[in-house]
Amino acid sequence: MSRLPVMSSKRVLACSSAENAQDLAPAQKRLRKDADPVKPAATVIGTKRPALAATRAPLCVIKQSVASAAAKGGNMKQPVASTGTKTGGTQKRNPWDLKGKVSDMEDKVRNYQMKVKTLNQENEVLQDSVSQSQRKMVQVEKELQIQRSQIGEYERKLQVLAGVQDELEKVLSDKNFLQKELTNLEGKYKVMETLRDSQETELQTLKMKLSVQESTLARVQANLRDSEEEVRSLKETVAQQKDEIYAGEMERRRLHNTIQELKGNIRVFCRVRPLVGGGLPKHIQLATSDNKAITLAKTEESHTGKTADTQKNYNFSFDRVFGPRTSQQEVFEEISLLVQSALDGYNVCCFAYGQTGSGKTYTMEGDEFDETRGVIPRAVQQIFKAAGKLGEQGWEFTFTASFVEIYNETLRDLLYTGKSSKRPEHEIRKTASNEVTITNLTYERVINEDQVLGLIALANQNRSTAQTAQNDRSSRSHSVFQLDIEGVNAGRDVKCKSTLCLVDLAGSERMVKSQSQGDRFKEMTAINGSLSNLGIVIAALANKESYVPYRNSKLTYLLQGCLGGNSKTLMFVNIAPEPDSFGETLNSLRFASKVTGTPCPGGDSHSCLLLV
Ligand code: ADP
Ligand code: MG
């Protein structure tokens, strides 16, 4: 492609016509052959240049003139041949014809001169032609140069175009890729369109549902507004009723306390244990009219036999007398009112007094079965239940339990779980706020009934490990279970604090002095001393005496906070029904009577409380 302009240029430069250009080369060859033999002549004559017009004449014209000159030269020989003899076509002169020979020679010379002249002309023409050709060549070379630079230019463009080609190919492959993508997307689009259609349908359905629901919502909102209004008025009513409930609760507490006070802040219940074989003992008579009286009847045989046997009756009355068939539940119903008082903020103290085997432990702790459970587990159950209910009125309670044994005027922690060798000693102290506390004692925070029952079990375990078969320590020690109750009603800014004390006292039986020696005597003295003092303290409280000898025994000193003032004190006097326990039963009943300040049948008031 790049050669095309060059070729066309040559064609233009060589000759005006293709025919002349073809003829030029053989003409030149011919001229050189002919010129060779006359070379010396040409050097002689060559100085003479042909006319300018002739040199510029085209090559084809030169050819013609050479041809005509050759023809003329041929013609010049012809006259020479006619004047002499011919050899090989030429007439040969005779040896003598010198004149003719000279004439021939002259002819020849003329002929050659002509030829030389012609050749010179041709030479000039050719030189012109050569220089012309050289100029043209220079021209052509310039053009060639231009063409080459153009070619270079074209090649650069070509390279650029090759890059463009690559890019084009890349663009094409991209295009193919995009085409595929497009097809793919078109497919997806169709799927989406289908999806959109189905969703539009769904949307329509949902719109319809929405409008239905909107109208429902509007209706519900209207109802809600009404309800809110109702709730507001109900809240007001509830607040009002809460106030009324609180006022009612406070009133109930007041009335409950009034009733308890009217019943007596110090009460004594008598409980008769059933006979081991069942049935009722003859010497114990319970009043049928009410359940407050008990009579101990003693038949005295006539010593002479002349008179009839005499029967001596000892009549006692108490706040309540429970016969041998009274269930644990019935017994507790009476005490539950005092348990309620404990939650209301009053100290409550409940003792079980009586000889060993009279049923003190059965009354206070009972057996493990539901029906035979005693006062302590039932009281604990009631307290947690009632505390839960009071919680609804804004009360929050905290409970702290402790279990202590008093043996021989020494305190022992029944909730102690450490090594027995490291058992600490305890002392009763009074705090700055005049509260009684025991040093080193386990005070266990409890939150439910089960926890308390666990502690009672632990206490029993601790008690039984301290006793032997011969030495029933539990009957000669007092066990004191204390539950400290603290109630707070933050909303009303009210607090209450109380202690519920449930005491299983040591056996009250007297011993024959001669039989008790050593440790036994010491035990007896301690028990009788503390029980007597308990009786004196309670009697002093009942009689509202100015001096109450709390400090005379560990038991009364420990219970000081729970006795007196607004405190409620309840004493169970447990009696054994066996006839051989008559004397102890009588003593117990006398002691109990004295505690309440009632006349003491068959004895003076002081002797009733003095057991030793
Ligand atoms: P105490 O603690 O006064 O020494 P207990 O409570 O151990 O006496 O009672 C002695 C026995 O009599 C025990 O076996 C007990 O189960 C039984 N007992 C006591 N009171 C009753 C009662 N009200 N009903 C049935 N059994 C009783
Ligand atoms: Mg007991």
**What is the per-residue pLDDT across 215-243, written as a single tens digit (0 to 9) for each?**
999 999 999 999 999 999 999 988 888 88
Report if residue 348 sits inside a domain.
yes
**What is the per-residue pLDDT across 85-97, written as a single tens digit (0 to 9) for each?**
444 455 678 888 8
**What is the per-residue pLDDT across 244-264, written as a single tens digit (0 to 9) for each?**
888 888 888 888 778 777 777
Mean pLDDT lowest for which of 133-147, 438-452, 453-467? 453-467
CB 505 within 8 A of CB 527: no
Report if residue 79 sits inside a domain.
no
CB 438 within 8 A of CB 400: no
Name every residue whose Cβ is closer than 8 Å to that of residue 117 and which is 6 or more positions away in sequence: 45, 48
Across 487-512, average pLDDT: 89
The side-by-side arrangement of strands in the sheet containing 293-300 is: 284-286, 293-300, 310-317
Mean pLDDT lowest for which of 119-123, 506-510, 523-527, 606-610? 606-610
Question: Is 508 close to ligand 1, i.e. is its CB under 6 Å away?
Answer: no
Parallel, antiparallel, or unpaired for β 320-322 and 266-272? parallel
Question: Is 355 close to ligand 1, i.e. is its CB under 6 Å away?
Answer: no
**How many other C-beta atoms are found inside a 10 Å radius of the C-beta of residue 453?**
17
The residue among 262, 299, 297, 481 whose CA lies nearest residue 374 is 481
Of 272, 273, 355, the one to substitute when testing ligand 1's pocket (max ligand atoms within 8 A of C-beta) is: 273
pLDDT on residue 329: 95
Tell me: pLDDT of 342 over 80: yes
User: Rounded CA gap, 177 and 163, in Å?
Assistant: 21
Report if residue 224 sits inside a domain.
no
List the shell of residues around ion ligand 2, using CB closer than 5 Å: 360-361
User: Rounded CA gap, 393 and 372, in Å?
Assistant: 33
Distances from the Cα of 269 to the Cαs of 351, 372, 508, in angstroms?
10, 18, 16
**What is the per-residue pLDDT across 458-494, written as a single tens digit (0 to 9) for each?**
998 888 666 544 456 778 899 999 999 999 998 888 8
How far away, in angstroms, is 325 Cα from ligand 1 center?
13
**Which residue type does 609 have?**
L
pLDDT on residue 464: 67
Percent of the chain with pLDDT over 90: 44
Average pLDDT score, the chain? 81
pLDDT on residue 310: 74
How far away, in angstroms, is 337 Cα from ligand 1 center?
24
Measured in whole angstroms, the distance separating CA 2 from the mean position of its chain's CA atoms is: 82
Report if residue 285 sits inside a domain.
yes
Residue at token pair 């074209």: 154
Report if residue 501 sits inside a domain.
yes
pLDDT on residue 56: 44
Q: Is residue 136 very low, low, confident or very high in pLDDT (cuts 50, 70, 90)? A: confident
Report if residue 114 sits inside a domain.
no
User: Rounded CA gap, 486 and 499, in Å?
Assistant: 9
pLDDT on residue 524: 83
Containing 271, the helix (H) or strand (E) segment is: strand 266-272
Report if residue 525 sits inside a domain.
yes
Across 547-559, average pLDDT: 94
For the chain, the residue count is 612
**What is the per-residue pLDDT across 395-415, written as a single tens digit (0 to 9) for each?**
999 999 999 999 989 999 999
Q: How many domains does the chain have?
A: 1
Prediction pTM value: 0.62
Please state the three-class secondary structure of 158-198 as a single string: HHHHHHHHHHHHHHHHHHHHHHHHHHHHHHHHHHHHHHHHH
Name every residue whose Cβ is closer than 8 Å to that of residue 113 and which is 6 or more positions away in sequence: 41, 45
Q: Range of 345's domain?
A: 266-302+309-511+518-596
User: Rounded CA gap, 120 and 118, in Å?
Assistant: 5
pLDDT on residue 269: 94
The CATH number covering residue 576 comes to 3.40.850.10
pLDDT on residue 281: 83
Tokens of 322: 């429970």
pLDDT on residue 75: 44
Report if residue 472 sits inside a domain.
yes
Q: Is residue 28 very low, low, confident or very high in pLDDT (cuts 50, 70, 90)? A: very low
Q: Is residue 296 very low, low, confident or very high in pLDDT (cuts 50, 70, 90)? A: very high
**How many other C-beta atoms are found inside a 10 Å radius of the C-beta of residue 590?**
25
User: Rounded CA gap, 499 and 249, in Å?
Assistant: 20
User: Rounded CA gap, 298 and 318, in Å?
Assistant: 20
Residue at token pair 């233009």: 12
361 among the known binding-site residues?
yes
